[in-house]
Amino acid sequence: MTQQVSLRANMIWNSAGSFISLICQWLITVLVVKLSNSFEAAGVLSICMAIANIFTPIAQFKVRVFQVSDIKDEYSASEYTAFRILTILVALVGSCGYAIATESPATIPAIMLYVVYKLIDSFIDVLHGIDQKNMRMDICGKSMAVRGVLSLLFFCVTMATTKSLSLSIAAMCLSTVPVIPYDWKMAKQYERLLPAISAGRAAELAKNCLPAVLGTACCTAVVSVARQILGDISGAEALGIYASVCTPVVIVQAGAGYIYAPLLGVFAGHIDRNETTRFFQLLIKVLVAMLGLALVGDMVFFIMGKPFLTIAFGAETSSYSFLMYAAIASVMLCAAASFLTDQLIAARESKWVFLGNLIPLVIVIFVTKPLIDKLGMNGCSISISVAYAVGSVLMLIALYRAVKSRK
């Protein structure tokens, strides 16, 4: 068994691997137009991603956070692996039925292949949970980086030679074949991986994770609902402009995730050992780091935002660069809400995992229209920020009470 690496190394490797994977996936969405010589393939790929985004959370079932924070080994690695296989099968069947019911027959092969590609990622994710629990996120980072680069390479070569989106996505699936044995071997050195779980244990784990699944769905829906209201009020063109301008700021949100993801096990350890002071000291450090990242993001986009938008989308879109600043606030508050959600999962506060995300969804439904009427497109970002801010405060209070009561 290999030794643990430092927390700093865990954070660096996870950040590097996640960032490389994110860039490679973004490049695929850009290069598909150039390599296919039409926008049709890009449109179908967008549909593939949209459907995969619906069913991937079902496959993952928010198990990773529960798994990493399982300090007392309530469930074995074999049970987590078996449960992930079950949720993957549910997601596969559900996505297949959804695609058949809603999309044209010509697009179904590409959709299902892309879903399979994302479900392979979901299976590897449970192996990475074992690595993370043993402070070896260098393994996760290397795997994500290699899979990102290979997926991009296989996709581009296949698309350039065949002009077939389905074959190109199939090539992406094949690109993961060399990496799966590596992840399996590395995780196996820590725990027995042979999938095995009883029906009762599977039902118990599903019940434990369900509030987090529902809470995550509500958290994601906050942005979707706000944007839908913007489209209803201002039209599809305004929504398109808003979405294009806000796309680059997502990298700031991703950066926030890189900050705290490697720390989930550390937080859970503090909770388990009743180290209340150390828990809240680390919590404050993470929240301050997120605030600092938001300020840096604002400065970077203040300087580079307009030139970037001009290059990426044209001069007309770049004139709306002022939308970026409120958007950064909204994505960082979303990251804060996600972070506090994960801490409540670690504290096993199921009720507040759900309520802390349901309440922002209710708020955004009522405040978005008045704010858009008064502030224009920026009202969309501000309504999202208000909703997540209220949810974050409520979850922070609930987390404080939960951790203090354990003492």
- Core vs surface per residue 116-127: b (16+ CB within 10 A) or e: bbbbbbbbbbbb
**pLDDT (tens digit, 0 to 9) for every residue of the chain, 407 residues total?**
567 788 888 888 988 998 899 889 888 877 887 888 766 787 788 788 878 888 888 899 989 989 998 888 899 999 999 999 999 999 999 999 988 988 888 889 999 999 999 999 999 999 999 999 988 999 999 999 999 999 999 999 999 999 899 999 999 999 998 899 999 999 999 888 889 999 999 999 999 999 988 988 888 888 888 888 888 888 877 877 787 777 777 777 777 777 788 888 888 888 888 888 999 999 999 888 888 887 887 787 777 767 777 766 666 667 777 888 888 888 889 889 999 999 999 888 888 999 999 999 999 999 999 999 999 989 999 999 999 999 999 999 999 998 888 75
Nearest to 122 by CA among 97, 89, 78, 95: 89
Distance separating alpha carbons of residues 72 and 69, to the nearest angstrom? 9
Place of tokens 């924070």: 69
Task: Give the CA distances from residue 18 to residues 15, 84, 129, 190, 336, in Å, rounded to whole numbers and listed in that order.
Answer: 5, 21, 15, 23, 19
Distance separating alpha carbons of residues 280 and 403, to the nearest angstrom? 9
Place of tokens 């030794």: 3
The pLDDT assigned to 314 comes to: 67
The pLDDT assigned to 153 comes to: 96
Place of tokens 């929504």: 239
Task: Give the CA distances from residue 122 to residues 55, 61, 64, 88, in Å, rounded to whole numbers and listed in that order.
Answer: 11, 10, 10, 8
Task: Give the CA distances from residue 391 to residues 324, 326, 373, 388, in Å, rounded to whole numbers and listed in that order.
Answer: 22, 18, 23, 5
**209 secondary structure, DSSP code:** H
Straight-line distance from the first to the last Cα atom of the chain, in angstroms, rounded to the nearest whole number: 34
The pLDDT assigned to 152 comes to: 95
Distance separating alpha carbons of residues 38 and 95, to the nearest angstrom? 26
Distance separating alpha carbons of residues 7 and 5, to the nearest angstrom? 7
DSSP track, 119-179 = HHHHHHHHHHHHHHHTT-HHHHHHHHHHHHHHHHHHHHHHHHHH--HHHHHHHHHHHTTTH
Asked if 341 and 215 count as a contact pair (C-beta separation under 8 A), the reply is yes
**Angle 82-217-87 (CA atoms, 0-180°, nearest 5)?**
15
The pLDDT assigned to 39 comes to: 66
Largest CA distance in the chain: 63
DSSP track, 364-397 = HHHHHHHHHHHHTTHHHHHHHHHHHHHHHHHHHH
pTM, 2 dp: 0.83
The pLDDT assigned to 244 comes to: 74
**Angle 250-254-256 (CA atoms, 0-180°, nearest 5)?**
120
The domain ranges of the chain are 7-197, 209-406
